[in-house]
Structure 1
């Protein structure tokens, strides 16, 4: 065995039934510490779900101007109120940044099949959706509805023509504070959304949300661990799927924990650099391990 191999060799233990990865000595040490002090997110009292699939974004995701036009076409104040409640803000993955988001002024016509909406109660919305006719079908190759009838199956469901694709059971979670993130990113970009905005798939969300979870997810050490679970694509992009996020071990702090209050205060003051070192301390990293994570 060469001197180089003897100097650089690292002993790895591979459990028989577990997936495995070859890591350096310092990477193994960091990984062990993360797993020793944290509880996987999937074992927390939270829900992780994908955003909305409309099956037809061109019709169901609209601009602010189009929303205003639909509301202006309502014939009564009651119809206008019902319609305004149906049309809700939506965020795309590209709108979500680290600790923040930039809403692009887009709205979702939220006709969930599970809500059993009567389109006749929303005549201005019906009038708008009926503008997507057979002429556009020929131009785009997509499937559209004419006069309330299916030309052909717009999506692989039995939904009514005016309903979006997703028939989800967790639609109420979108009205709650949630941690959201885009699917494909170079670095972790998680944000807290406290209003009733929807997010589009394949973006994902965590409910209930907390500033503590937000800080951990946005940390460099969390990203180090999550990226051990998947493959980075060309250009350094990583697909932040729920199946990876839910495996992240996170320390469960009691409500009176001083670090918990400190993290919340630092987020409110936009002091994200100091949060990193608090998180390092929670996982018990040495200075050499901190330097290694910071060098990635």
Structure 2
């Protein structure tokens, strides 16, 4: 449609729309042949054209009254853009170098000499010509690969497409506003584009998300104090996101940050994004509005515009390695919690489950033999809060170098024959996966062996187990000797230390973990060992340990009898006791309990 009915005419008069199709551009905006800093004045002078002429052509196109005028302006605009590309192409550094090398060869081949050359001089001149010709051939190939390369098929030239953002000398001034929803493409899917991105963008990291580069591009094309707003995946605590966090703090002043990782924004996609709004400025002395959008807020979208739900966060608080969005009161609360000893200092380190490298081969759903190499195993998704019923899965564990210990040093074929004879049922299964098992990185000396693990002996001991992804506390006590599949984690403890389970499943610890762990899809947090080991544990008297242990035992007994048993009253009692152990105030308890909404 090219017209609409005007409201003030009671929808009886038409108003013609401008030809805005010229504003719709298509291309890969991350890829450009020509720098934003390249001098356009040469191109303008050579073609007897000015930026004003270009702007006027675009404006005339928008307001063209007929198809002929529109076509004429479109032809003029295409000619101007084509001339820009041709002229700027001549100033390409590679082409400039090529012309210099070709000129040097011409001079060497056609030089006039007053005295006849000696044989040695002819030889040296010939060698130099050959050397230059080799350089020329290499450079021609490089230029041809660049110009014909698929990577430039949809290259986007910002200055050619938007004359409105150039000054009268053709210098790129920039846009006032950039708004975007960058594509969701995993780093491993970028292919050859990664080489280009690595050379062009300072925010490049091998495991980085493609939206990192749109942030940097937006900075490049914005005017000073220009506004920037994106919706994209969170990067506040990820290792790969460190380069982008540093770039943002250095170059942008954040104005609003909406964390929507705990709600489903797009039904058709499994992304859980943030909305990030900032200006091109490096004023880190300001504070900004932050909103953690939970389901209650999101159910009534008007809440997102209600200032009462927002917290003011200082830019200065984001100067650490990871970003924590806390107001002063929350910052003080976490500081007080961290005054206690860490769990690793009291109970020792935790351990990751076993990494098979090929779960379909080494984890099975039936007990196919009585061999001791077959162990009951939990996946992270099997683990329940407090107590997990018996498993119906088994892991095949041939430890690294165990074959050699049993049979001595043998060729793989000889070792395989002996293993097939001794473990017939297991190998009837494993042989179906021989090719895949050989290709995996995580393996032992032979393809049926698992990678080296120094703590197999800890799995049969009493332990606290937990999945690495959690949307609420899911710490469980296990004394059944069940093994764990990575990336689930466990902490060996003695039975008398069972009270620790009550603390870990409390609201205090859930609040703490949500503040330090990386958030994944659906509001899940990734409780990696390095985060778990930071958990602060208060001093607990023997009397309080006994009380907590009794409460934990009551919950475990209830869950053993009925996995769906309602233990809310007992859990609330534990929460209240844990608040006292950490000496929390009523205000601090309110912060913790309200944050779980």
Tell me the TM-score normalised to structure 1 length: 0.77
**Cα distance in 2 between the residues matched to 1:237 and 1:192:** 21
SS at match of 1:44: helix
Aligned to 1:149: none
Question: What is the number of residues matched between the two proteins?
Answer: 262
Correspondence 1:60 to 2:346: no
The 1:132–1:13 alpha-carbon spacing in structure 2 relative to 1, beyond 3 Å, is: closer
Aligned to 2:470: 185
Aligned to 2:445: 159
> C-alpha deviations, 1:81-125, integer Å up to 9, x for none?
xx1x22221011111111111333111122111545637478453
> C-alpha deviations, 1:161-215, integer Å up to 9, x for none?
3212x31111101011111100112111010111211000000011125322212
Mapping for residues 276-287 of structure 1, pairs under 5 Å: 276-287=575-586
**Cα distance in 2 between the residues matched to 1:16 and 1:237:** 25
Mapping for residues 1-296 of structure 1, pairs under 5 Å: 21-36=324-339, 38-64=340-366, 67=367, 69-71=368-370, 83=371, 85-113=372-400, 115-116=402-403, 118=406, 120=418, 123=421, 125-133=423-431, 143-144=436-437, 152-164=438-450, 166-209=451-494, 210-254=497-541, 256=542, 258-270=543-555, 271-295=570-594, 296=596
**Cα distance in 2 between the residues matched to 1:246 and 1:12:** 28
Q: CA RMSD for the aligned pairs? A: 3.0
**Cα distance in 2 between the residues matched to 1:231 and 1:98:** 20
Is the CA contact 1:59–1:129 (under 8 Å) kept in the aligned structure 2?
no
Return 5+ residue gaps in structure 1 as ranges.
72-82, 145-151
The 1:114–1:22 alpha-carbon spacing in structure 2 relative to 1, beyond 3 Å, is: same
**Cα distance in 2 between the residues matched to 1:18 and 1:279:** 30
**Cα distance in 1 between the residues matched to 2:484 and 2:342:** 24
SS at match of 2:486: coil
**Cα distance in 1 between the residues matched to 2:463 and 2:510:** 19
**Cα distance in 2 between the residues matched to 1:40 and 1:29:** 18
The 1:183–1:261 alpha-carbon spacing in structure 2 relative to 1, beyond 3 Å, is: same
SS at match of 1:90: strand
**Cα distance in 2 between the residues matched to 1:269 and 1:197:** 22
Is the CA contact 1:95–1:103 (under 8 Å) kept in the aligned structure 2?
no
Q: Larger relative CO (CA 8 A, sep 6+): 1 or 2?
A: 1
> C-alpha deviations, 1:132-161, integer Å up to 9, x for none?
447x67xxxx615xxxxxxx4333545213
SS at match of 1:89: strand
SS at match of 1:227: helix
The 1:130–1:205 alpha-carbon spacing in structure 2 relative to 1, beyond 3 Å, is: same
Relative to its length, the structure with more helix (as a share) is 2
> C-alpha deviations, 1:247-285, integer Å up to 9, x for none?
11111434x2x2111100001111222111111111111
Tell me the TM-score normalised to structure 2 length: 0.40
SS at match of 1:293: helix
